Amino acid sequence: MDAWHVITVFVALEELYQHFGDPIRYRPHLVPAEIMTVAVMAAQYFNNNHERALIIMQQMGYFGTRRLSVSRFNRQLHQLVDFLDFALDQLVEVGRFGEAFILDSMPLPVCKRKRARRCRKVRGRIYCGYCAAKAEKFFGWRLHLVCNQYGFPAAFELLPASLHDLTPVHEITAELPKEIPVFGDKAYNSEPDETTLAESGAPLIPLRKANMKPHDWATEYDLEHYRKIIETVNSQLESMGIERLKARTNLGFEIKVHASLIALFYNRLSVN
């Protein structure tokens, strides 16, 4: 575990909470920024296992002699879910810069497909999805993510798995800077959507299918170059265990997804 990484995340969350968070009316074992830092470090180093992250960080002395049980940690973390979302929104706004954006989606199953009928978190065919890249079916959610050219998350949306990649494309690109191209894979080929987005100032440039007329050589070069960035980002999220999340509730699932995106931001910060 990188101490610089831990301290950077904690200081950023602490400063943000002091300016925008609710005042602390009691003396907790761990302050809100420490609680959220544990969740982010769990995503970064422990495959989103909060219990393991909490125990190891306590043993390493990050909280001094203070101790907090796993059950109380989980309750306090769930109370901070709104502020964790707010912190992620602030980081996402910071990531909206650069000369290009890349759009992609990845599966976030909540359970094995054969157990879908017994799943209590989500129900219905709308959560039955198919990942063409891995040629496999899954049951749960699909994360739609936009990154800039440096791999920083710039926008995201969590939708049921059966919805097509084009479903949130207008909403997810609405807050991006105008006239900056958004590159995507073959799933985003849609002439009406490309025309509408170009008129609104967010030109969508998808990878053409084999039976379609290709882009000019410069655009094809940019597509190949920028697609590698989003693939690297997806690999980093997969290494955090985002495709194998274990949570008893949808709120717990959402917390782990958002913590993973915050961890991704600071991970890309250390790389760049």
**84 inside domain:** no
Q: Over the chain, what is the mean pLDDT?
A: 90
Mean pLDDT confidence for 28-50: 93
CATH code (residue 154): 3.30.420
**72 confidence band (pLDDT: 50, 70, 90):** very high
Query: Are residues 13 and 54 both part of a single domain?
Result: yes
Domain that holds residue 218: 98-244
Whether residues 235 and 174 fall in one domain = yes
Helix and strand counts by DSSP (H, E) for the chain: 9, 6
Residues 29 and 103 in one domain: no
Report pLDDT digits (tens) over 4-37.
889 999 999 999 999 887 877 777 788 999 999 9
Indicate if 65 and 140 belong to the same structural domain: no
Inter-residue contact 175 to 97 (CB < 8 Å) = no
**41 vs 26, more confident:** 41
Specify if 152 maps to a domain.
yes
> Where does a domain end: 79, 106, 121?
79
Burial of 171 by CB count in 10 Å (0-12 exposed, 13-18 middle, 19+ buried)?
Answer: exposed
pLDDT classification of 212: cutoffs 50, 70, 90: confident
Instruction: Report d(CA 126, CA 160) in Å as an integer.
Output: 6
126 and 238 housed in the same domain: yes
Structure tokens that stand for 237 in this block: 């999220």
Please check whether residues 52 and 122 belong to one and the same domain. Answer: no
Q: Are 208 and 189 in contact (CB under 8 A)?
A: yes
- The percentage of the chain sitting over the pLDDT mark of 90, rounded to a whole number, equals 62
CA 146, CA 165: separation in Å to the nearest integer? 12
Looking at the structure, tell me whether residues 108 and 190 fall in a common domain: yes
272, part of any domain: no
pLDDT at 21: 79
Q: Are residues 215 and 172 in the same domain?
A: yes
Q: What mean pLDDT comes out for the span 143-148?
A: 95
Q: Do 35 and 143 reside in the same domain of the chain?
A: no
Give the C-alpha separation, 69 to 133, whole Å: 41
Alpha-carbon span 41 to 241, nearest angstrom: 12
Residues 123 and 156 in one domain: yes
| Predicted local confidence at residue 204, as pLDDT | 92
Which of 45, 79, 113 lies at the terminal end of a domain, its last residue? 79
Q: Does residue 131 lie within any of the structural domains?
A: yes
Residues 114 and 240 in one domain: yes
Task: Give mean pLDDT, residues 118-135.
Answer: 87
Beta-strand relationship, 128-131 and 101-111: unpaired
* Total domains present in the chain: 2
| 257 inside domain | no
Q: CA-to-CA distance for 22 and 181, rounded, in angstroms? A: 39
Q: Do 150 and 16 sit in the same domain of this protein?
A: no
Give pLDDT tens digits for 222-259.
Answer: 888 888 999 999 999 999 999 999 888 999 999 999 99
pLDDT of the residue at 233: 93
Determine the pLDDT at residue 217.
80
Determine the pLDDT at residue 121.
85
In which band, very low, low, confident or very high, does the pLDDT at 158 lie, cut at 50, 70 and 90? very high
- Tell me the pLDDT band of 261, cut-offs 50, 70 and 90: very high
Structural domain contains residue 90: no
Q: Is residue 256 part of a domain?
A: no
d(CA 225, CA 258): 27
Give residue 182's pLDDT. 93
Q: How confident is the model at residue 3 (pLDDT cuts 50, 70, 90)?
A: confident
- What pLDDT is stored for residue 24 in this prediction? 76
31 domain-assigned: yes
Pairing status of strand 101-111 against strand 182-184: parallel
